[in-house]
Amino acid sequence: MKATVSSSLLARYADRIGLGESVPELRQRAAAPAEQITELLDELIGAHVHAICFENLDVVAARARGEVRAVSVSPDEVADKLLDAGRGGYCHEHAVLIRAALAELGLAVHPVLARVHLGGGRSEPGPLTHQATIVELGAQRYLVDPGFGGGTPECALPLTGGVRSTGRGEHRIAPAESVLEPVMRAEAEWVLQSRTADDQDFRNVYAFADIARQRSDIEVSNWYTSTRPGTRFTGPPVLARSLSDGGKLTVEGRQLRYVRYGSMPERRERTIADAADFARVLTADFGLGVTDEFAELVWSAIDPS
């Protein structure tokens, strides 16, 4: 019998991300004072990004088959894929998964949609393509987002501001009116800003309003992001994995990169040679549960020859 979200997702999630606590223990921690719940959120996000990588392989595979089909954002199907099948996902899948787990913990959560501001040359706001989660702890609200890929903040961020640091950089939430020109704000109230050891200044990552989005809004955003030609996720494969040594492993198309900041910075890069090499990268380096046949299908979108 197929497991249901309400009865088993949290247990499966805790097992997948390597938590050593039972569901009752986690629920007890989630009923603690707000400061302790924030610590729990940080632990969950950190464990999540280390265990479940960011990847758009299903989007690329659909295109290789000649299909126009959105990635599923059904909680059951997301859980089957990311928890049971040993796969990763992109932002909408990660957001749906962690929000379902947090809701089962008894926390007040709601989805938000964001406009990405990374990259130059923008003269107007982009579409609402990114999904994250707001957790309400009394009068305070926190952004929780394990699904932004290489630049995801690996901790919970209060909307009231303040810099929070992880091994991969510093992050904060700033009022949109203080960091965005009026023409770039749209409905945004808040902006996620980040910087690494290589950055002098904080960069605007994405902007959002603290509006609980409807399921139909999420489905439209997910459809656009995973099917529209020319978007970042309907092109070559994009993967990101946080490693235990503080480094980040990424793939964009044929390029495999490793970056580590901090006191012992390191950068490595190489070109993935062929379909067999790509399959090894997916299974050995990213820990994904994919077959050689699936890897070859995705590779065919990179190298149609």
What are the tens digits of pLDDT across the range 37-50? Answer: 999 999 999 999 99
Residue 17 lies in a domain: yes
Distance CA 134, CA 88 (A): 21
Q: Are residues 205 and 248 in the same domain?
A: no
**Are 158 and 248 in the same domain?**
no
Please report whether residue 251 resides in a domain: yes
Q: Which of 176-180, 245-249, 259-263 has the lowest mean pLDDT?
A: 259-263
pLDDT at 206 over 90: yes
Q: Crossing angle for the helix pair 34-51 and 91-104, nearest 10 degrees?
A: 140
pLDDT of 210 strictly over 80:
yes
Contact (Cβ atoms closer than 8 angstroms) between residue 30 and residue 105: yes
Statement to judge: residues 191 and 135 lie in one domain: yes
Q: Does 125 share its domain with 261?
A: no
SS3 61: helix
Calculate the average pLDDT of the chain: 93
Question: Does the pLDDT at position 7 exceed 60?
Answer: no
As a whole number, mean pLDDT of residues 87-96 equals: 98
pLDDT of residue 251: 97
Say which residue the tokens 């039972």 belong to: 22
Query: Is the pTM for the entire model greater than 0.85?
Result: yes
Same domain, 289 and 200: no
CATH number at residue 75: 3.30.2140.20
Q: Which of 227, 249, 267 is the last residue of a domain?
A: 227
Q: How far is CA 125 from CA 180, 213, 296, in A?
A: 10, 18, 37
CA distance 272 to 276: 9
For 16, the token pair is 């997948």
pLDDT value at residue 4: 42
pLDDT above 80: residue 150? no
- Give the sign of the dihedral formed by CA 232, CA 236, CA 237, CA 238: negative
**Residue 232 maps to a domain:** no
Per the domain annotation, does 233 fall within a domain? Answer: no
Closest CA to 158 of 176, 177, 171, 170: 171
Residue 84 has pLDDT above 60, yes or no: yes
Asked, for residue 185, whether it belongs to a domain, the answer is: yes
Residue type at 70?
A
> pLDDT value at position 305?
62
Per-residue confidence (pLDDT) for residue 246, from 0 to 100: 84
Q: DSSP assignment, residue 207?
A: E
CA dist., res. 228 & res. 10, Å (int): 33
d(C-alpha 146, C-alpha 91), whole Å: 8
In a shared domain, residues 127 and 153: yes
Helix (H, G, I), strand (E, B) or coil at 238: strand
Question: Is residue 56 assigned to a domain?
Answer: yes
**Do 256 and 172 reside in the same domain of the chain?**
no
Structure-token pair, residue 277: 């090499």
Based on the domain organization, do 127 and 39 belong to the same domain?
Answer: yes
pLDDT (0 to 100) of residue 130 = 97
Instruction: State the Cα–Cα distance between residues 143 and 156, nearest whole angstrom.
Output: 6
Among 4-13, 29-38, 214-223, the range scoring the smallest mean pLDDT is 4-13
Number of independent structural domains in the chain: 2
* 3 alpha-carbon distance from chain centroid: 24
CB 286 within 8 A of CB 294: no
Per-residue model confidence as pLDDT tens digits over 112-125: 999 999 876 778 99
Mean pLDDT across 7-32? 94
Is residue 152 predicted with pLDDT exceeding 90?
Answer: no
Q: How far apart are the first and last CA of the chain?
A: 43
In terms of domains, do 34 and 133 share one? Answer: yes
Q: How many CA atoms lie within 13 A of 147 on its CB side?
A: 24
User: Residue 210 is part of which domain span?
Assistant: 5-227
Query: Do 45 and 138 belong to one domain?
Result: yes
CATH number for the domain that contains residue 243: 3.30.1120.150
Q: Which residues pair with 128 in a beta bridge?
A: 115
What is the rounded CA–CA span in Å between residue 18 and residue 192? 28
My answer on whether 174 and 212 are in the same domain is: yes
The last residue of one of the domains, among 227, 257, 273, is: 227
Indicate the residue type of 200: Q
Looking at the structure, tell me whether residues 146 and 290 fall in a common domain: no
